Structure 1
């Protein structure tokens, strides 16, 4: 996924095709959110033969790359995001925002960039936190089961 993020020709999106860019951004985040919620429900219900330990981290990583792509596209518009010159910068800013570190070296200046940053923060609070909690619960259950396989859940 990370290799695709760095190699895909995403320069055709952004200011050149704003409607398509917003549509793809919204669809990607919605699809990832639905898939994450499905995994959360499967963990909460104890559905057998699901693989949240594999699927949840992949979906979380994909959502980070979607936001990084959005920041990269926004950086092509003058005055929108200061400090993003490369895809690595966009990925760095996404992770810094996700981690709530906020070094201040990259700043969303324009209204659109601030909106995307707000969406990322809300998305992280709602979907990524729920997914991480479900993953933690699943892993805890698996560890307990392996420590004592005869103990009922």
Structure 2
């Protein structure tokens, strides 16, 4: 049975994105690593602002059992998605381009890699429920991903 959340993550991400007074002054770009700032933390969810200069991206990861949604508020991002297999590996499944205004909700078993492959900086807002406590990292081997690490919030990121 799918896990139910008290908050509609896509609607929350959209509402936060529309509230530019909340996040616009926080936008900053770091040429070395992605910049991020927490926008909200409640019992039901947490929200983050992330910025991406061209070429910046994540490794393959999941969200440790949290569901989420993100929306691109400036620029464009490329998401590669993988499908989890029964042996804790995953198969690379699809790639999609997400321009400004795009919303990407995902469930508790979602594995992806997000990158700014464009020539312009990008800004996105991410919402997770429950709040992130763990993220698992994967390494690509051909068209498969293998689980290689588990990172705890406050310890490894």
Q: How high is the TM-score relative to the length of structure 1? A: 0.28
> Which one has the bigger strand percentage?
2
Q: Which has the larger radius of gyration?
A: 1
Structure with the largest fraction of helix: 1
